[in-house]
């Protein structure tokens, strides 16, 4: 239990730290990677280069601190982060390393303003916040292990590699130990761990399982990025080096971007490769639920899953609307208005600019926030919807 004095200090200094948040977290990462270079095996070095991860970490630490006397209120965010942490294999012993380096970075940036009393209060508060994460993550590890699942990473064989188009390929993966795959919720992602040639550290990336659960195969569908683009380290490695018969280390499915089970009409809005979780959800749907699928993609050559989407929608009696941005422009509010029904649950996934445009449009069209579900491929909390 934190004392009232500690709570008061943390709450009153949270805004000051927030103001310097990005500076502090940048110092923090520099310091932590100097002291613990092995953690570069876990952290996405492309996110580091783009400054996204410092923003995401800063935002969440200060949000937690500002609510230190009511951590219940931030549990939904904790769950979102904990799913990512569990997928990456973050363990209790990592928390003191982050804590120690974060506090040292606060001291470095704030200088004399960070008195011993303030630092001690933050150390205590960090301990409480870390315990919440550790507990939630342990529950997720246990869920991952249940029903014949596994805790960290396990080897999978690539049983099929299928070129969907010039830039996109699907990989079909089965566990090398021959065990059946435990159930997952369509829309969830698995995490692939690779060591690309010329890279000193392993890299971990999340890829949505791009079809409904079938008990023995995970399919991921991966877009090639421009050559040497930091974002493409793992995707391009998969395209260029991973062939049928190869082995990939995979962690169990995670994530909260999944279909609601309340029977409300569903509207999927997919941009580019953001179609993968939405197709998995659609693929798992049964007749009886109203469904529409809106897809924005640059052109026909880059589109994936169109035939599969159309076939499934025919089976469900759903509606399909595709817009090619190269020739027809972007999705408009008027386009969306045609597909929004009473109580529609809206699912949005695509590139950052797409989400930035689409989420406000949904609000303007009267869809309440609790029915706007979205997934951003990247550090989610650096994305402001």
Residues annotated as part of the active site: 95, 137
Quick one: which segment of 86-94, 172-180, 216-224, 346-354 binds ligand HEM (CB under 6 A)? 86-94
Indicate whether 320 belongs to the interface with ligand HEM (CB under 6 A): no
| CA-closest candidate to residue 11, choices 71, 81, 68 | 68
User: In which order are the strands placed within the sheet that holds 266-271?
Assistant: 319-324, 291-297, 266-271, 345-349, 372-375
**Least distance to ligand HEM, CB of residue 98, Å:** 4
- Tell me how far apart the alpha carbons of residues 144 and 142 are, in angstroms, rounded to a whole number: 5
Q: Which is nearer to ligand HEM, 199 or 335 (CB)?
A: 199
Indicate whether 272 belongs to the interface with ligand HEM (CB under 6 A): no
3-state DSSP assignment of residue 372: strand
Q: Which residue is nearest to ligand HEM (CB)?
A: 380
DSSP states of 138-201 as a string?
HHHHHHHHTTT--SSEEEEEEEEEEE-SSSEEEEEEEETT-PPPPP--TT-EEEEEE--TT-SS
> Which tokens in the block code for residue 64?
């937690």
Indicate whether 381 belongs to the interface with ligand HEM (CB under 6 A): yes
| CA-closest candidate to residue 173, choices 223, 214, 141, 144 | 214
Query: In Å, how far from its chain's centre is CA 45?
Result: 16
Indicate whether 84 belongs to the interface with ligand HEM (CB under 6 A): yes
Site for ligand HEM in 43-72 (CB under 6 A): 43-44, 47, 53, 56-57, 60-61
Site for ligand HEM in 353-372 (CB under 6 A): none
**Least distance to ligand HEM, CB of residue 213, Å:** 24
Among 68, 125, 129, 269, binds ligand HEM (CB under 6 A): 129
Binding site for ligand HEM (CB under 6 A): 39, 42-44, 47, 53, 56-57, 60-61, 81, 84-85, 88, 90, 94-95, 97-98, 129-130, 133, 379-381
């Amino acid at each position: 239990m934190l004392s009232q004095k500690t709570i008061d200090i943390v709450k009153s200094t949270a805004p000051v730290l927030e103001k310097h948040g990005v500076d502090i977290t940048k110092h923090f990462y520099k310091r932590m990677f100097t002291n613990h270079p092995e953690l570069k095996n876990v952290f996405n070095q492309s996110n580091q280069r783009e400054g996204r991860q410092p923003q995401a970490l800063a935002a969440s630490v200060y949000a937690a601190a500002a609510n230190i006397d009511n951590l219940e209120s931030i549990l939904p965010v904790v769950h979102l982060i904990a799913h990512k942490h569990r997928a990456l294999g973050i363990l209790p012993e990592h928390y003191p390393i982050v804590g120690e380096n974060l506090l040292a970075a606060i001291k470095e940036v704030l200088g004399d303003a960070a008195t011993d009393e303030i630092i001690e209060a933050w150390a205590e508060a960090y301990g409480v916040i870390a315990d919440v994460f550790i507990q939630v993550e342990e529950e997720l590890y246990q869920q991952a292990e249940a029903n014949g699942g596994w805790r960290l990473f396990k080897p999978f064989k690539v049983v099929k590699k299928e070129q969907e188009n010039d830039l996109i390929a699907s990989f079909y993966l089965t566990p090398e130990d021959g065990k059946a795959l435990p159930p997952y919720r369509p829309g969830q992602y698995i995490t692939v761990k690779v060591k690309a040639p010329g890279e000193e550290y392993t890299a971990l990336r999340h890829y949505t399982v791009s079809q409904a659960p079938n008990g023995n195969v995970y399919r991921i569908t991966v877009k090639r990025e421009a050559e040497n683009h930091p974002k493409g380290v793992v995707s391009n490695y998969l395209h260029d080096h991973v062939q049928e018969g190869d082995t990939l280390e995979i962690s169990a499915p995670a994530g909260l971007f999944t279909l609601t089970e309340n029977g409300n009409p569903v509207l999927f809005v997919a941009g580019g490769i953001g179609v993968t979780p939405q197709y998995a959800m659609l693929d798992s749907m049964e007749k009886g639920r109203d469904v529409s699928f809106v897809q924005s993609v640059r052109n026909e050559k880059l589109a994936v899953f169109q035939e599969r989407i159309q076939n499934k929608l025919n089976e469900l009696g759903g509606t399909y609307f595709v817009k090619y941005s190269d020739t027809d422009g972007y999705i408009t509010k008027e386009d969306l208005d045609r597909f929004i029904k009473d109580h529609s649950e809206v699912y949005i996934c695509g590139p950052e600019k797409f989400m930035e445009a689409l989420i406000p449009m949904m609000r303007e069209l009267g869809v309440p926030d609790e029915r706007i579900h979205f997934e951003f491929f990247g550090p989610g909390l650096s994305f402001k919807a």
